[in-house]
Amino acid sequence: MSLLTLENLSVTFGKFRAVDNISYSVKEGEVLGIVGESGSGKSVSSLSVMGLIDYPGEVSADNLSFADQDLLSMPEKQRRKITGSDIAMIFQDPMTSLNPCFTVGYQIIEALKTHDGGNKKVLRARALELLNLVGIPAPESRMNAYPHQLSGGMSQRVMIAIAIACNPKLLIADEPTTALDVTIQAQIIDLLIDLQKQKQMGLVLITHDLALVAEVAHRVVVMYAGQIVESGPANEVFSTPRHPYTQALLASLPESASGKARLEALPGVVPGQYDRPQGCLLSPRCPYATDHCRHVAPDSQGSLERQVKCHTPLDAQGRPAA
Amino acid sequence: MLSFVLRRLLQAVLVLLTISFASFMIQGKLGDPVRQMVGTSVSVEQREALRDELGLNDPTLVQYGRFLGQALQGDLGTSYYYKESTLTVIANRLPATLELSFCALVLVIVMATPLGVFAAINPKNWLSRSILLFSTLGLSIPIFIVAVFLMYFFAIEWRLLPSFGRGDTTQVLGLWQSGLFNKDGLMHLLLPSVSLAFVMTPIFIRLIRAEMIDVLQSDYIRFAWSKGISAPRIYFIHALKNTMLPVITVGGIQTGTLIAYTILTESIFQWPGMGFLFMDAVTRVDAPLISAYLIVVGLIFVVTNTLVDVVYGLVNPRVRIPGYSA
């Protein structure tokens, strides 16, 4: 059964479409990787799932539902109840995402109290259990620590503890390891995947790290300039990318440049609000772009299982179809 | 904690030394005290004798040393006008000023916090815009205009409130003349403290609003929203505590402004406090009283700012004062 479903979701800030008609779904116990360059709308789309898009941002969708409940039409109060309990999120920068004025224990217990309630003793025991679960040594003493007394890795563990406090069915991790150093990154990802398997959560993993997605994700969504350019089962997308952008992303990995003097790179940057090209958004950077691409925007082809947004999707040999 | 207190004490001593030196130097320039004391019928020789007796012919530094020595024994000189120890004169007036400042401060906190928070949460709302407009007005209207207007309407036109003095006071704990415990005293307190609060509130509204807007953009507030916590909790617990940090510091510094404004407020409302006393002392060229006032005010300033630092350390876990256990 589908846990989270997005159909043609858009997020607009004034005239600017940060997220442009995207559709994907996450099943129970599934890991979905969302990849793309900075500014491609990865974070904004997940914030809209959490209901955290502030004025002047506007969210519209044909369907945005979680466990068959329509998130957009339900009363605000009910949505706030789901937020943080059934759907939880962890953010990029753990050092600034915990409130500096409150202890770790206070912030964990607060999440528990908001959604589950219970007396002080039970809540405290539960918080300790959570700290244990996310692998924090000496949790008793950490309960009274303030965020500034924790390292980045520790803070991220605390944030994960808070996010999974109410046993969410879906966890969104927005670049959970970007701000951490490499050795800690692996630990945090291992922890996330362990927890995901243990609790059979759906996990949306937003990241720049293609290797990571290839390793842990069941399905992958590739975003570019607010649009989903390709999505599908991770092994398929990585072995036979059908969109030139995905192909370019994979080619830019150091692994595919062995023996070469320089890494492959796609020239140019993601278009922003003022430099949107006509036609296909990738056309100025795409090596295969034709006149048709530069004038007419492509539609998504294929099913939700395997979609690609290109006039001339690549074939198994990585060449554009005629 | 001990090293913190010691360091603070050292700072306090330095501040007070500087103030005492400045105020002492002023004393020498405020005209001839002998003439103030004896009038015109006394001969030049007698005046000279009195000068010698008072030590006014000694070099300035010797005089200053003597002044310091006496100050250390709690003697800041004798007021020319009251013929009493200046400290006693000031101590008698201190309760009136402290009560006025305290009430003004309570009003400032009660008004500035909700208004500032509201303006930060709803930046586009017309009410927020009016709050900002009001605060700009409040910042630009001097206190003597506010006070005179309030007095004109409430005391003269509508005869609702008394226009001057402290009214009835009650003795508290044997040494404190308080106007807080009877109706007449409170009625008298109303206009002066409202005027004082009126000029102090705007800066705090603006400060709280600006800080709060910043805090609401922060990562930890976004994370708090994602936890599903209720909006009031996010605004008044998560955001407000962080907002208050700079506000507390500025609050300490604003003590100086508050003291300056009490001088004006007290003069306008004939409030028998230190500020009014100071104005009187200035018009009477009561030099010892003037310098004693300056030193006492300096002391108040240092003490409040020390307290503010302690409170800051309690609120902000990141700057726990060294040696101050959490």
Write out pLDDT tens, residues A56-102: 889 999 999 999 999 999 999 999 999 999 999 999 899 999 999 99
* 8 A C-beta contact, residue B193 and residue B103: yes
Cβ of residue B129 closer than 8 Å to a chain A Cβ? no
Query: Does A298 or B51 have the greater pLDDT score?
Result: A298
pLDDT of residue B320: 61
In-domain check, residue A320? no
Q: One-letter amino acid identity for B42?
A: V
pLDDT above 70: percentage of residues in chain A: 99
ipTM for the predicted complex comes to 0.91
In-domain check, residue A131? yes
Residues A182, A128 share a domain = no
In-domain check, residue A317? no
Residues A200, A148 share a domain = no
Q: One-letter amino acid identity for B117?
A: V
Sign of CA dihedral B232, B234, B238, B239: negative
Residues A229, A104 share a domain = no
Residue A269, domain CATH: 3.40.50.300
Test mutation, B125, B211, B226, B235, chain A, max A CBs within 10 A? B226
| Ordered structural domains, chain B, with CATH | 89-283+307-319 (1.10.3720.10)
Test mutation, B121, B214, B223, chain A, max A CBs within 10 A? B223
Residues A139, A172 share a domain = no
Domain ranges, residue A119: 100-165
* 8 A C-beta contact, residue B258 and residue B3: no
Q: Which of B227, B233, B241 has its CB closest to that of A101?
A: B241
In-domain check, residue A92? no
* Mean pLDDT of the residues in chain B: 87
Residues A178, A158 share a domain = no
Residues A82, A31 share a domain = yes
Mean pLDDT, range B175-203, rounded to an integer: 89
Residues A174, A161 share a domain = no
In-domain check, residue A6? yes
Mean pLDDT, range A227-234, rounded to an integer: 94
Mean pLDDT, range B12-21, rounded to an integer: 87
**pLDDT above 80: residue A141:** yes
pLDDT of residue B1: 65
Name every chain B residue with its beta carbon within 8 A of the beta carbon of A66.
none
Nearest to A157 by CA among A121, A182, A122, A184: A184
Residues A236, A173 share a domain = yes
Residues A184, A127 share a domain = no
Q: Which of A165, A183, A198 is the last residue of a domain?
A: A165
Residues A275, A135 share a domain = no
Residues A16, A48 share a domain = yes
Q: One-letter amino acid identity for B323?
A: G
Q: Which of A146, A165, A184 is the last residue of a domain?
A: A165
pLDDT of residue B326: 39
Q: Which of A140, A165, A190 is the last residue of a domain?
A: A165
Number of domains in chain A: 2
Residue of chain A nearest B313, judged by CA positions = A101
Residues A276, A225 share a domain = yes
Q: H or E stretch including A238? A: helix A234-239
